[in-house]
Amino acid sequence: MRNFILSAAFAAAALVLSACTNIAKFDYGAAPGTLAKLREPGSATKSVAVMPFMDQRGVGIIDPGQAPAHDVGDHGSFFLGFIPLMPFGYVEKTQPENSEDFVSLGRFHFDVQNDLAAASIASLKSSGLFKNVTKANNAAQAANADYIWRGSVTSTFYRGRMFSYGITYCFSHILWIVGVPYGSSTNELGVKFELVDRASGNVVWEYNYLNSDYLNHWIYARVGKDVSIYPRLMKEAMNSALYKLSQEMPDL
């Protein structure tokens, strides 16, 4: 029995430590679900240029009700799980791409301004609402477009928990080995989309989105998936936004 416990401890430690060398990226194409198709190809008459997103994380609540207030920066520690009777150690991050220390991940490669703009382009092209969708890094590059798609991100909050079940990591690894979850990751995405008439500069339509979801980690499954929910949330945001746009501006 003693040998089994020691073997279990080494196996759990090896699996968790090796997982922490994983590197993830924001992969919109790999997100589950399909992109919305709202109009037959070739039927649209207007063009749109997509600007890099504005990063408004950590600057306070700009639009009341859009995103909950989270303390800026990184908070918590997984070492809390070594304290007896503590159910878990945890970390919280408002900008998860800027630091290490996830449940089962080493780093998150996430260019908020350009990755979310690229996701918007993919969804806008799929929707069929515009005859032409391009990327514009500035106003001059958008000069030939009818509209400008402008986005801002207000939250990419991350919370990770590593479960010690009140018996500290010194013993909880035995539970991990037999199949009990060893951690969980929560991803939150807050974004705002605006459609701007390029000629006048007026915002003619806008949409706010805020949602979060979580997943559990086992040493046998979902290792390195700590930030895998962000692309799915962005796809949900774009599908919902474009459906609303098709209903509210049917003459695009």
Contact 211/233 with Cβ under 8 angstroms?
yes
pLDDT at 20: 58
Lookup: tokens for 14: 């090896």
Give 21's DSSP letter: T
Q: Which pLDDT tens digits describe the chain residue by residue (252 residues)?
A: 444 444 444 544 555 555 556 899 999 999 999 999 999 988 999 999 999 999 999 776 555 445 567 888 899 999 999 999 999 999 999 999 999 999 999 999 999 999 999 999 999 999 999 999 999 999 899 999 999 999 999 999 999 999 999 999 999 999 999 999 999 999 999 999 999 999 999 999 999 999 999 999 999 999 999 999 999 999 999 999 999 999 999 988
Close Cβ partners of 137 (under 8 Å, ≥ 6 residues apart): 51, 52
Q: CA 103: distance to chain centroid?
A: 16
Close Cβ partners of 16 (under 8 Å, ≥ 6 residues apart): 104, 182, 219
pLDDT at 252: 85
Q: What is the dihedral of CA 103, 104, 107, 111, to 10 degrees?
A: -80
How many residues can be counted in the chain? Answer: 252
In the chain the beta strands, taken as DSSP E runs, fall at: 23-25, 47-50, 54-55, 74-77, 88-93, 107-109, 132-135, 147-155, 158-163, 183-197, 203-217
Residue 24 C-beta-side C-alpha neighbours within 13 Å: 28
* pLDDT single digits (tens) 107-158: 999 999 999 999 999 999 999 999 999 999 998 999 999 999 999 999 999 9
Closest Cα to residue 149, out of 248, 53, 8? 53
Please report which helix (H) or strand (E) contains residue 126, including its range. helix 112-127
Closest Cα to residue 30, out of 133, 119, 134, 121? 119
Give the burial class of 39: count Cβ atoms within 10 A of its Cβ; 0-12 exposed, 13-18 middle, 19 or more buried.
Answer: middle
